[in-house]
Chains A and B, each alone.
Chain A
């Protein structure tokens, strides 16, 4: 702001001083150099960026900038995992940055949801927000009526400044948890102490690969070359998935499993492995607790017939993959996030973990039960940690400590509405679009309309922005300094500011600074967020000796030469130092038991299909979008102009549905209407539509989705996950 004003005044003064003309300029000003016109175009400059989206691949990018304009993006060849290539979403970035649809200025809607927007200055926006915060604080005696919902829109480390914004105004209500992967995280936490996967580049060493509910072709495509290399070296690829995905289509063996029965398949395999004594007794007994107890359970309770009946997988196939998995050493398993989005999802992951342990594949190069990791995320989170202002009143938790009030991100609509002491009155949304992504969209709409005040920071006019009072324009990652780590590969890259922020867009930290200045002006001491520092300085503060050492650098600036891979062994847990309370793999987990879960990885029944709604509606990740990002861009809208629901021809025939028929998908919660695509890539009781936000469309797969929790997630992420794929519906011709 200051900079602009100075520039403006400077410009005006220059014009006034010049005897050139008496013309009064408003938008133009004298250029600094008299011979500006003769200057040749600047040479093309390149910058390093990292795609900050919620994606396994977290690609290194090279950005080409000419005359301050982003011309194109390419993959960073120095990035050993993404290897100089981007996905179709990555290549579409210039369309995102320069889309005329971008949100350009702070805007105010009155009343909320009316579509009546006025442009306001940052000053007015901050003034309104700050006054609202102070007003709520005064009325309720604390800032707890203010609720933050931030998640995965941008996983850059500096973006944790959003949490910092809230911390700095006092104790607030926070949406806690993660909708994506918590059940699996907890499963691995109970078993190994945390989630920690092998280096994906290490998959080349596998002799056998099982992708369990994992569609790498759409969600982690940069892993495919490593899988392909393993296959070229002789490895067999097995894909287990209810949907015949693009990845599954390439497999040597594809198993169309009954949804939510992955644990039963793993138990059947375990039984056959025990029966044939292919167990790595030495590894399992030396490294784990409760292994024999579990073996007894398998022997006593599991039969191949049962497993076959449960999973819909023929016995001989269970035997085949059990034998191959147990005897091909090393064998790698990759557990996808889709398969744990069930009411028994975490438990199924625990059973698969046990399968890895019993065959001695854990801790081995070319092996592992790979789910994800957070080993490279040890930054300072400097922007996040701010002490609350003096005298802040917080929420007294069950442990007696005063702090933020946590509510469940995965039942956000319900939990926000359920708060009464004090009630939630204001929402702050950043990197998050609950209007499109949360379960039970009708409930979300209702909850939003009960708020006094909603602030959203975003780049495009999505459903959440539609339901806001004030929207603040967010920068893209090309307009920010940041650093990004991956939850899959071991690389860390720096993200340079390649272009100046467009229009009046600001990064989350810059917004926090503005807010802090305003709040302290209105009420000194009411906000602790520091008000100085350039974006690059804020980035620099994220680094520490641990990170330096891990990446083999002395200074963050070295990352400008190229991303670095963490110095870690290729196989997770190869040192045998597990992070459970017992320091061993806990096949018998007391922690799980304490949390009301089975101590052992035993079978837990899947959710029963309700009679009234016999069809399972699965809504996995799309190819052209990342949640509600990307699909709205013109290239995507041309290539994939409208959503479709995939229906098996046999199921379609029952309801008189043919290719292209509009189908109404409904249950007690709500309904959506979408065009049918008949395909045998799905099964006869499962329909599939891919979640996404299409431009100028109200399509949203979450209208029929109940906020049913998955079995795990509380331990490590604060809240249980969401059983996204236990979504049952009825269909009819629309």
Chain B
């Protein structure tokens, strides 16, 4: 309930920048880390300083270290990025919401369509609609960043009806979508990341989902399971 009273535009902007930086990082892929890492480091520092969280600072230090690395190291990170998120091998952490939240752990699941409907509420659609799942992490992050930017604008315009609208949209989207799977996704990444950059990235994703809590009325429940987790657990009882 304390969303926009407590969050000055500057803080919202910082959040939005982090969301966008992450969105770009996933959208541009492992091949463009040399361009997408620095903005992430920058926005991450701003957030870490604002909240003064040491874990985030530490993670960001690793990010910063690798954002100034050589081409060889960038290539190694690119390979790891693809192994984790892209393929052509079965990716370890496919960056799509429905893989984590739908009961069948496939892409284009119910969440994908629900997310599509969310975008439509703002008369938006994904550029790759029907080709790329709408619940691709970058698209969801961009949408959240967009909502924050709308909040800032409407706050500036003192349009309280609109502020309320975007605030609600933001909270709903976070609680029904991004907030539900971001931690599981991050956990999956950290479980099998072979390069410190991605452990750090996972840490930032966790921080992001936690830091967004003050922006929300309450933290989203994380009672969801990654496919790896639920596939492992048995459905049989003791008998």
Contact = CB atoms under 8 A, between A and B. Distances in A.
A–B contact via C-beta, under 8 angstroms: yes
A94 interface: yes
Interface stretch (A176-184, A227-235, A332-340, A495-503): A495-503
A488 B117 CA distance: 46
Interface stretch (B48-56, B98-106, B200-208): B98-106
Interface in B77-92: 78-79, 82-83, 86-91
Interface in A8-40: 8, 11, 21-23, 25-31, 34, 36-37, 39
**Interface magnitude class on chain B:** 35 or more
Interface in A87-130: 94-95, 98-105, 107, 115-119
B90 A101 contact: yes
Given A101-B90, A107-B88, A499-B130, A28 B82 contact: no
Given A21-B146, A23-B149, A27-B23, A696 B86 contact: no
Nearest to B117: A37
B33 to A, nearest CB: 11
Contact of A68 (B106, B119, B130, B227): B130
B130 A37 contact: no
A349 interface: no
A27 B138 contact: yes
B87 A117 contact: yes
A45 to B, nearest CB: 13
B155 interface: no
The residue among A31, A100, A102 with the most chain B CB atoms within 10 A of its own CB is: A100
Contacts of A29: 124-127
A679 B148 CA distance: 65
A118 B78 contact: yes
A95 B105 CA distance: 9
Contacts of A8: 127
Given A37-B120, A634-B231, A503 B131 contact: yes
B90 A502 contact: no
Given A21-B153, A27-B142, A634-B105, A4 B128 contact: yes
Contacts of A30: 123-125
B172 interface: no
B107 interface: yes
A27 B119 CA distance: 11
B198 to A, nearest CB: 15
Contact of A119 (B31, B99, B113, B138): B31
B187 interface: no
Given A21-B149, A67-B113, A117-B79, A100 B91 contact: yes
The residue among B104, B116, B125 with the most chain A CB atoms within 10 A of its own CB is: B125
Given A100-B105, A118-B78, A119-B31, A503 B121 contact: no
Interface in A54-87: 67-70
A217 B139 CA distance: 46
Contacts of B231: 634
A68 B133 CA distance: 11
A695 interface: yes
A20 to B, nearest CB: 8
B24 interface: yes
A34 B123 CA distance: 6
B146 A461 contact: no
A471 interface: yes
B120 A31 contact: yes
5 contacts: A23-B146, A26-B27, A27-B136, A67-B113, A115-B79
Given A27-B23, A116-B79, 13 more contacts: A21-B146, A26-B142, A27-B142, A31-B120, A31-B123, A36-B125, A68-B130, A98-B107, A98-B109, A107-B86, A115-B79, A117-B79, A502-B132
